[in-house]
Chains A and B, each alone.
Chain A
Amino acid sequence: MSGKQSDFQAARWNEALIMELSETGARGIVPPAMDADIAAAVGDVVAALPAGARREKLPQLPEVPQHRVLRHFMRLSQMCMGFDVTTDMMGTCTMKYSPKVHEHIARSAKLADVHPLQGEQNMQGLLELMYRFNKIMCQISGMDEFTFQPASGAQGIYTNACLIRAYHESRGELAQRNEIITTSFSHPADAATPSVAGFKVITLMPGEMGYADVDALKAAISDRTAGLMLTNPEDTGQYNPHIREFVDLVHEAGGLCAYDQANGNPLLGKVRAGDTGFDMCQFNLHKTFSAPHGSLGMGCAAVGVKDFLRKFLPRPLVAEADGGGYRLDYEQGEGIDKIRAFIGNIPAVLKAYSWVMSLGAEGLRAVAETAVLNNNYMLKSMREVRGVTIPWPANNYPKLEQVRYSFEQMFKETGVTSHDVIDRMVDYGVQHCMPSHMPMLVPEPFTMEPGESLTVAEMDQMLAALKAISHEAYSDPEKAQGGPYNASTTRIDSDVPEDPDCWAFTYRAYQRKKGHWTSESRRKIERHSGGY
């Protein structure tokens, strides 16, 4: 593929919904046979169910033979642009190669078919894995203890908010300290999860450098300050050099500081949360540490704390056992309530551990530096793409792992929006990019993070695609606005998912409501959920 023209064609199977493949009587799989002696001994257990408990009519699930179920989902998989098939530079997502060998190890019954309550003595391997990775994460972050219980970045950040709450509560100051400070370019979860945990959240807006300045922080700090929760670099790829001052000011005011390391890829082996003065942090193992993104999860966050906060971590914790081996410490003490069932997303821990063990200290540093170098290589060329600007021209620092670009100039000159560009990208055989999280402070945003995995040729292909789209915007804007043309489906009526009379989240709702899709009395939709 040249990248200069859109000669890519996505698989377009026009695959019917699984419900529509149903043929009465077809079987996909047969459950284990019932032993005749058991059947005889227990009688008709279903008939014996109390009337209100029994299902009267079988569920309307599809009846499809096995190979057709396989083909159905294989075809759906072919209409999906995972990192295994193509370049994905979606900003804030740290897309990278997830080594296949980790998948093969994780499929072993020794991990897949382990029950979380089967007893410590029979899961020593798992506990050793968690123990070892805990030590590694402490070294990477400068923290003293980790939990792997949270199932995602947002849940990890939520855990940080709960730890801050527990700390102030233990000191009798929670009623007074009810404010968390974050920044507008931190992930939305840095504002959302402390709000869920009951805090009032103050969001600092960016100054002319694109990040919040120290005066803005000083104005927000008071004796109500419970803590600071932010990313750095922020979702713009810009590192706030005043971070240490931020942390010190919040500490002086009696607050705690939580470092959301969702954007931690450029900092591996380079900067540690602990050395920066933070009291706690969280890493996304499914991003920075190569565990696969899983189409939006199976996620896992590693949440780390300094020693004085160890007692507040959710239980159980992994500890060394007397007489060798490892155990789970369920002693509740002042630990916060459970965040997730059991002990965490262990497959992600295994993959993250394996990734670090493959790379070592020198390798982690190479990952960070290469991700930053690749990003600045992309930035250098993106500056030459017509219609693209880089926000905050006063900030002359090199960016770290990602850049929030703007297509505002292109939009003003051609009417082509960043969303149009994003949709058109698919025609070039690359995964689309994200514009930005909300609020969209940068007009016509476009956030790109190349990561450390890609070759120069792959980066050049992405650049060629964006240049071609830019050229098209200026020469044939209508075409640039009409994409994609070669994707797995044609353009959709994007009002339907926003209209309560039309939206349908299940097949049964779709059957009931699709008639309204063509109705003339449809509502006018004012707002679309762009940006994702």
Chain B
Amino acid sequence: MSNNKGFSHPYVPNAEPGIRQRLLKTVGVASTDDLYASVPDALQVKGLLDLPDPLPSEHDLRSHVEGIIGQNVSCRDHLNFCGAGCWQHYVPALCDEITGRGEFLTAYGGGTYSDHGKNQAMFEFQSLIGELVGMEVVGSPAYDMGAAVNSAVTMACRITGRRGVLLSGGISGDRLSQIRGFTKPVADLSSIGIDPATGLINLDDLKAKLTPEIGAVYFENPSYLGLIESRGAEIAEIVHAAGALLVVGVDPLSLGVLAAPGDYGADIVCGDIQPLGIHMYAGGGCAGFLASRDEERFVSEFPMILMSIAPGVEEGDIGFAWSTMQRTSYDKRHDSEDYAGTTQWLWGIGAAVYLSLMGPQGMDEIGRGILQRARYAAMQIAKLKGAKVPHLDGAFFKEFVVDFSASGKSVAEINAGLRAHDIFGGKDLSGEFPMLGQSALFCVTEIHAKKDIDKLVDTLAEVLS
């Protein structure tokens, strides 16, 4: 209460009445009310807020909160085949162990000397992502992949001095919304047509739309619909010939087997690090990254903190520091074209642990394993009456489209049928891509054993019949 009676709670030690009195006396005021002298009385809350009765006992609180979230069915209770921007992968024990370390979990803005270890972990995150994507500059984590795409395409516009952004027609509705909102004041968006047969961007359409106003061309590889683009070098050549920059969005988990965008000519690369050892947390695990070549014209446009390695005064010592903060909104304030702040560093540390564990061999094996499982699942589903896998002849990673139009059933009905058998089906694409009819985006990862995939196929057969 606002009087001097105080309040005793494990999280607020100095609210205890005796301590509070001692502090008030030292400060030289009679009551905490005196400390709010700058706040007009009319603006102060009278009495207490109308909040639920508190549960100061840790046991009682835990039981209350666990009771609420216990109503959720998790993807470990059910078989899950939904991805679409947030994917269920195995999270190694070490990732949870390290991201749970209190020193990292509760650190914040410490610097070169106070948080040396955090800074090294961040430099290593940047380094490991750099190896995967084939770039020398990687920033600290972005808010999520959509935010990284936003930063990427707008920095490309600033570098080229052009307003036009060409986006692959195959990106998700949510991503398009994120990009539309962010780029509204500074860029003009248009879309590259998709070849219905391959699901990949139509190069003739790309060429036709690559006018001198286009500063950035963006596609995803694998695409939102899981398809692998093999013409990266050709696309890069076309884009560069028109004086634009190429931005590629990737699933970093694919890069043990798929070509690094930096190696086929991408200028800026972005993606989501959630697949790298971060739990889904209903989307809370999503976190982005942004990478480019090591050129001043790129670096000076990066919005986020860049952790640089630097030599220590003692021979062989190294340290780390936030570099060139004058680039960022912390310094630029009202002149900002992008913004920085607290993002998702803990997940960056988790991703660094993940890639350190996996190594080249692990990334090759997991990429291969996902390609194999996804293809197996697609092949089996394609055999079902009423189900068609339109891109079965193409190359896809982790996700693939299943068209149920021929079954006469909607995806919503099919997913309800699957749910009745403890299976979460694919993302319903019927609202997002109406031209695909009643299609769903299925996701198969390294966690799916043959029996899991077979159960999905058998259940689908039953639901479709």
Contacts and interface: CB of A to CB of B under 8 A. Distances in A.
Interface string A154-189: 110010001000000000000000000010000011
B104 A376 contact: no
B373 interface: yes
A370 B65 contact: no
A436 B114 CA distance: 17
Contacts of A42: 372, 375-376, 379
Contacts of B166: none
Interface stretch (A46-54, A214-222, A405-413): A46-54
A456 B211 CA distance: 66
A1 interface: no
Query: What class of interface size applies to chain B in its complex with A?
Result: 35 or more
B14 A455 contact: yes
Interface in B17-68: 19-20, 22-24, 26-29, 32, 34-40, 42-45, 48-56, 58, 61-62, 64-66, 68
A116 B299 CA distance: 34
Nearest to A151: B143
B62 A105 contact: yes
B283 A344 contact: yes
Contacts of B111: 422, 432, 532
B281 A122 contact: no
Contact of B117 (A50, A78, A296): A78
Nearest to B357: A28
Interface stretch (B202-210, B241-249, B336-344, B455-463): B336-344
Contacts of B434: none
Contacts of B137: 505-506, 509
Contact of A497 (B34, B68, B322): B322
B86 A108 contact: no
B333 A188 contact: yes
B334 A124 contact: no
A343 B407 CA distance: 32
Contact of B346 (A26, A298, A344, A506): A298
Contacts of A31: 90, 358, 362, 365-366, 369, 446
Interface stretch (A239-247, A248-256, A385-393): A239-247
Nearest to A286: B342
A450 to B, nearest CB: 10
Nearest to A355: B11
Interface in B376-433: 376, 379, 395, 415, 419, 424, 427
Contacts of B368: 34, 45-46
B72 A126 contact: yes
A358 B450 contact: no
Given A49-B230, A296-B343, A489-B112, A27 B359 contact: yes
Interface string B110-123: 11111111101111
Interface string B90-103: 10101011101111
Given A73-B98, A201-B334, A363-B7, A136 B51 contact: yes
A394 interface: no
Query: What class of interface size applies to chain A in its complex with B?
Result: 35 or more
A59 B131 contact: yes
A116 B272 CA distance: 15
A29 B357 CA distance: 6
B345 A294 contact: yes
Nearest to B336: A192
Contact of A366 (B15, B308, B349): B15
B282 A115 contact: yes
Interface in B148-162: none
A198 B337 CA distance: 9
Query: Quick one: which of A95, A96, A107, A109 has the most chain B CB within 10 A?
Result: A109
Contacts of B325: 529, 531-532
A458 B72 CA distance: 41
A465 interface: no
A339 B20 CA distance: 42
Contacts of B233: 52
B147 interface: yes
A85 B15 CA distance: 22
28 contacts: A14-B316, A19-B124, A32-B90, A49-B230, A49-B258, A50-B395, A60-B131, A70-B98, A111-B282, A113-B88, A117-B86, A132-B52, A139-B49, A139-B51, A151-B147, A154-B340, A195-B336, A295-B115, A298-B346, A359-B11, A359-B12, A363-B54, A374-B23, A400-B36, A434-B109, A497-B323, A506-B123, A507-B130
Given A299-B341, A423-B113, 13 more contacts: A31-B366, A46-B257, A74-B98, A152-B341, A196-B329, A271-B43, A296-B345, A297-B141, A299-B343, A341-B174, A373-B20, A488-B116, A531-B325
8 tightest A-B CB contacts, nearest first: A360-B54, A337-B181, A342-B283, A198-B185, A84-B102, A154-B341, A79-B117, A28-B357
